[in-house]
Amino acid sequence: MEYYSTHKQTSFTSLKQAIIKGLANDGGLYMPKNIVPLDNYIISTMKDMNFQQIGTIVAQSLFGDSIETNILEYIVNETIKFNTPIVNIHDNIYSLELFYGPTLAFKDIGARFMALLLKYFIEKEEVENINVLVATSGDTGSAVANGFLGIKGINVYILYPKNRVSIAQEYQFTTLGQNIFALEINGTFDDCQALVKSAFIDKELNTKKLLTSANSINIARLLPQSFYYFNAYSQLDKINKAKELVISVPSGNFGNLCAGLIANKMGLPIKHFIAANNKNNVFFNYLNTGIYAPQPAVETYANAMDVGNPSNFERIIDLFSSYVNPYQAITKQISGFSYTDEDITKTIQYAYDKYEYILDPHGATAYQALLDKSLSAKESGVFLETAHPAKFKNIIDSILGIKIPIPNKLKSFMEGEKHTIELENDFIEFKNYLLQQ
């Protein structure tokens, strides 16, 4: 499989180069040259497979000609050591619970897969001293940090906005040490993301340092997220509830939605997608107006979605570029909703009072979007519950007036000692820091 840049100003490249570089030379994001649809029969038999088997089939289609079969199967099996169950909340609405991994968030799958794939290329090609740069608004940092922890030849620098991630999220990547370095930036997630992107195009820095990214801008972080869309479909297909599937995705940097669209392009029969936004509603506004106008990010309860200029928007545009009217095709396939913190509060309270189900703030936006979409009796609605509610314990406890228990996985992080390096939102300062490492 070859990969091209969404800016289309540079030549095709290999999977190894795409994962190591992260961002194309022209500043674009890598996309697979060919997305090959899976046979309908294979998809129909997934209901009789486990998650690892499903993931291996999807990975083989996406990466099979770039890596040995036995190695790819090993990477998938090591990545997927937990399930992503479908839970019926009420009527025809289901939660896809993606919080059973090591850091209790959906990003564990993409981060673990990428870490193992990069480790494979490092050992095979004898590449050394790779520096992974990661901007996080919450869960990306913890998933990447734990995925790459202790891998020889890789240092990970996690940039996060000061006072804008939950305490639980922060402790998951600031207490690890070893090859993980937490950089506390005086700014927003968009500022952190801009610093990372600036690093990739700085000639002096790239001459002296081998840089890559583990954000969803890296194709090896994004593509494995398609695995759990197939797994969700297989679980619903098993109970004959997958014929008209509507999936609602909490959307910040839009890697998750993009992975779902790629799964759809691979033949997964998803009828419609919903992009659920918090108050950072750039994509929602685009769907309504056709105008993409980035805005400064604002702080919300659903902090992992506090993104004012989502990187993967250009991948979504690229996926629909072959249509005569791409905007019309996008709005036909994707609906949008936007919610304030007040809306999120009401939704969390409603789901708990009526169905005794505890939503996290991100899942709450996606659940409410399904309610507001008004599904037909024939449609099945799935919302992605992307993180364990305990990662937002202060918010959930305050809303519901209860004290939700902290899982042992999370509790162990909270007992660690936080170590961070505070930097201003200034590229020269960030660059000099990296050069001194």
Residue 75 has pLDDT above 80, yes or no: yes
Domains (range + CATH), the chain: 83-106+222-408 (3.40.50.1100)
What CA–CA distance (Å, rounded) separates 340 from 347? 11
* pLDDT tens, residue by residue, 86-124: 999 999 999 999 999 999 999 999 999 999 998 888 887
SS (H, E, C) 331-372: HHHEEEEECCHHHHHHHHHHHHHHHCCCCCHHHHHHHHHHHH
Burial class (CB in 10 A: 0-12, 13-18, 19+), 126: exposed
State the CB neighbour count (10 A cutoff) for residue 409: 16
Which whole number is the average pLDDT over 297-301?
Answer: 92
* pLDDT tens, residue by residue, 300-325: 999 989 999 999 999 999 999 999 99
* Strands, sheet with 154-161, edge to edge from the N-terminal-most edge strand: 210-213, 130-135, 154-161, 180-186, 421-424
Burial class (CB in 10 A: 0-12, 13-18, 19+), 277: buried
Residue 8 has pLDDT above 80, yes or no: yes
State the pLDDT at residue 410.
87
Residue 229 has pLDDT above 90, yes or no: yes
Contact partners, residue 386, CB within 8 Å, separation at least 6: 98, 99, 105, 106, 139, 250, 256, 304, 360, 362, 363
Which whole number is the average pLDDT over 416-421?
Answer: 90
Nearest Cα neighbor of 182 from 213, 141, 219, 221 is: 141
pTM for the model = 0.92
* pLDDT tens, residue by residue, 136-187: 877 788 888 988 899 888 999 999 999 888 888 899 899 998 999 999 999 9
* pLDDT tens, residue by residue, 357-405: 999 999 999 999 999 999 999 999 999 999 999 999 999 999 999 999 9
Nearest Cα neighbor of 117 from 159, 151, 155 is: 151
Q: How far is CA 418 from CA 174, 271, 413, 424, in A?
A: 5, 45, 10, 19
End-to-end CA distance of the chain: 34
What CA–CA distance (Å, rounded) separates 156 from 172? 14
What CA–CA distance (Å, rounded) separates 182 from 416? 14
State the pLDDT at residue 386.
96
Band of residue 55 on the pLDDT scale cut at 50, 70, 90: very high
What CA–CA distance (Å, rounded) separates 6 from 29? 5
Q: Are 144 and 216 in contact (CB under 8 A)?
A: no
State the pLDDT at residue 214.
85
Residue 126 has pLDDT above 70, yes or no: no
Q: Are 284 and 336 in contact (CB under 8 A)?
A: yes
Contact partners, residue 383, CB within 8 Å, separation at least 6: 93, 94, 95, 96, 247, 248, 249, 250, 276, 363, 366, 367, 369, 370
State the CB neighbour count (10 A cutoff) for residue 73: 17
Contact partners, residue 328, CB within 8 Å, separation at least 6: none
State what percent of residues in the chain have pLDDT above 70. Answer: 100
State the pLDDT at residue 356.
97
Per DSSP bridges, beta strands 210-213 and 130-135 are: parallel
Contact partners, residue 205, CB within 8 Å, separation at least 6: 199, 211, 431, 434, 435
Residue 188 has pLDDT above 70, yes or no: yes
Residue 253 corresponds to which tokens in the numbers above?
């940097």
Burial class (CB in 10 A: 0-12, 13-18, 19+), 371: middle
Residue 430 corresponds to which tokens in the numbers above?
């960030």
State the pLDDT at residue 193.
87
Band of residue 413 on the pLDDT scale cut at 50, 70, 90: confident
State the CB neighbour count (10 A cutoff) for residue 369: 26
Residue 128 has pLDDT above 80, yes or no: no
Helix ranges (H only) for 126-157 are 139-148
Per-residue buried b or exposed e for 109-122, using 16+ beta carbons within 10 Å of the residue's own CB:
bbbbbbbbbbbbbb
Residue 86 corresponds to which tokens in the numbers above?
């479908």
Band of residue 332 on the pLDDT scale cut at 50, 70, 90: very high
Which whole number is the average pLDDT over 271-283?
Answer: 97
State the pLDDT at residue 208.
93
Q: Give the H/E segment covering residue 378.
A: none
Residue 302 corresponds to which tokens in the numbers above?
């659903």
Q: Are 295 and 280 in contact (CB under 8 A)?
A: yes
